[in-house]
Amino acid sequence: MTSIYQKKMKHTKLFSLLLLLLLLAPQGVSAITLSVTPTLFEMSAVPSQAWKSSVKVINNNKQDLTIYAQVVNFAPQGETGQGKFMPVFGDFTEGKTLAEWITVPADSVTIPRESSVEIPISVQLPSDAAPGGHFAAIMIGTKPPDDDNAFHVRTSQVVTSLFFVRVAGNVIENGTVRTFRVVDPFIDTPEAHFEVRFENKGNVHLQPQGEIVITNMWGKERGVVPINHQTHFGNVLPDSIRKFDFTWKGERSITDIGKYKAVLTLGYGQDQKKFSTQVANFWVVPVKPLLTVLGSLLAIILFASWAVRSYVRRILEMSHGNTYVPPSQRIVKRQVKDGDVMIQKRISVADPIMSGMGDYKQRLRKTEALGEVIKTSLDFIYTYKKFFAGISVAIFAVVLIWYFFTEVLTSQRDYEVVIENPDVDITISSEDIHYEKNQNNDYEEVSKNAQDTIQPPQSYELILVNSSDTPGAAADLQRTLINKLYTVADLKSDLDGSKEKTVIVYDIEIQEDALQLSKDLGGVLLSANNLDINTNADTITVYIGNDYQLTHRSVDQ
């Protein structure tokens, strides 16, 4: 099954092709749309090996197009994954480059409107092909190349298909992480920008794969940034450096302040897997909320200090008035009827409390009606208001500390990751990552019951948003809905807080579909979305609340 990440990458590839076409469109001429598939060939070969394939070129225009194919060499340019195309000059290259080993039709090819053609390709490696990586590209355009074998890209629509060939032999796989850093190590919101620069020191292309694991100062995970998962567009060519940029956005919470640690782990190599690990630290310090919290803590500390001093003063008053006497010498003298007997009794810390309880009991003996009991209790609280204020502040402080450690020690939280690309950024939610990590074939195979169910084609986009305190709730629900023949278009994480109830928000035009979905989810609440008449009304969004576990049980039954 196609994953969420793969779907987003497909949109990115399509956008990249369209953007390339727009950039190469001639001024004053309506844009011609061409596309090619596959956009990348990766193969391993040995000297003297021959290989044949084809490239599919699609004409989406209303008129026929005549196209021309040419093979050029490809080399890295800059650190953003871009490349440069270099025409073949036989006198200088002497048959040593990949572009010279690839053969495409020399004549033009006509593609009927709104159709496609297959352009045959043949690859013949020479017997003395150098071991390591070789790189080329097939450029397909609407204008023939000049005598110098170069396309005039300013007056031609051009699309490309890249060739990465790995020739067996003395292959060197050697790479290193040149830089891993947080662009701004001090931030006031949980939104950090990471920069990874990977250098390829070998003679074949490498695709470093791994992740950045982000933890708070208590060692609890707060995010995972995937690097080159399920994509072929993160290759690093030999003798080049490629920069990868990522942005992590976490939940905003005053409890998760402090020092964060990001651990980068990259693996690379085909013959023998090698790993590189680096660590970067950054601080999340929300200034205004932090000042509020520090002010509150200072007030609690000052009040606690005042309360302790008042309590100690009360103990001293009960022993020897206002005169300080060492604890070992504090005694109370009292007379008994049987004679002058000196009874020594050391004052304990609990004596002021016991004295107050005795006073309260004494007052209650004089009251009988319920109203008088309440009035007496209120008068007693007012008389000992300092003590009760101290107890209240102490309870509040304990609750505050309990809440703080409960929040910071939570194992996971929702987050988003933005993978920055030259063409278009890709946003992945923690639900997407959770789904990929916990993918289970048992969920992916449609059950017998689901196969026997007649389900009409889904005519709307179904989006799941995790608004609960349970990370992975949307990913788990997606697996369940797949078994019921639903198609989930996207998974998202609500970083603004949690909701108690699960709600289905739908457009009024697809009310029947929303009712059926609610039924399949065990009777989830429905909320119609009032839209203007011109608004695209083909989306149903399920906001998963903290009652998800109960809902989930009802779905599975």
Domains present along the chain, CATH in parentheses = 4-167 (2.60.40.10), 175-285 (2.60.40.10), 290-333+348-407 (no CATH), 438-556 (3.30.70.2390)
Classify residue 347 by its DSSP letter: P
Candidate from 242-256, 335-349, 369-383, 393-407 with smallest mean pLDDT: 335-349
- Structure tokens of 222? 């707060």
* Residue carrying the six token digits 């919101």: 189
* Structural contact between residues 504 and 527, judged by C-beta atoms closer than 8 angstroms: yes
Q: What is the pLDDT of residue 347?
A: 57
Dihedral in degrees, nearest 10, Cα atoms 20, 26, 28, 29: -80
Q: What is the pLDDT of residues 467-484, one digit of tens each?
A: 888 888 888 898 888 888
Query: Does the pLDDT at position 231 exceed 50?
Result: yes
Amino acid letter for position 429? S
Name the average pLDDT for the chain. Answer: 77
Between 149 and 251, the more confident residue is 251
* Residue carrying the six token digits 């609610």: 518
Q: What is the pLDDT of residue 19?
A: 41
Residues above pLDDT 70, as percent of the chain: 74
Query: Does the pLDDT at position 247 exceed 90?
Result: yes
Q: How far apart are CA 171 and CA 188, in angstroms?
A: 47
Query: Does the pLDDT at position 537 exceed 70?
Result: no
Query: What does the chain come to in residues?
Result: 557
Q: What is the pLDDT of residues 361-409, one digit of tens each?
A: 777 777 777 777 788 778 777 777 777 777 777 787 788 778 777 777 7
Across 444-550, the runs of DSSP E, i.e. the strands, are: 461-466, 488-493, 503-507, 525-529, 539-544
Q: Is 4 exposed, middle or buried (0-12, 13-18, 19+ CB in 10 A)?
A: buried
Cβ neighbours, 10 Å, residue 73:
21
Q: What is the pLDDT of residue 328?
A: 43
Whether pTM > 0.75 for this model: the answer is: no
Kindly state the average pLDDT of the residues 232-243: 86
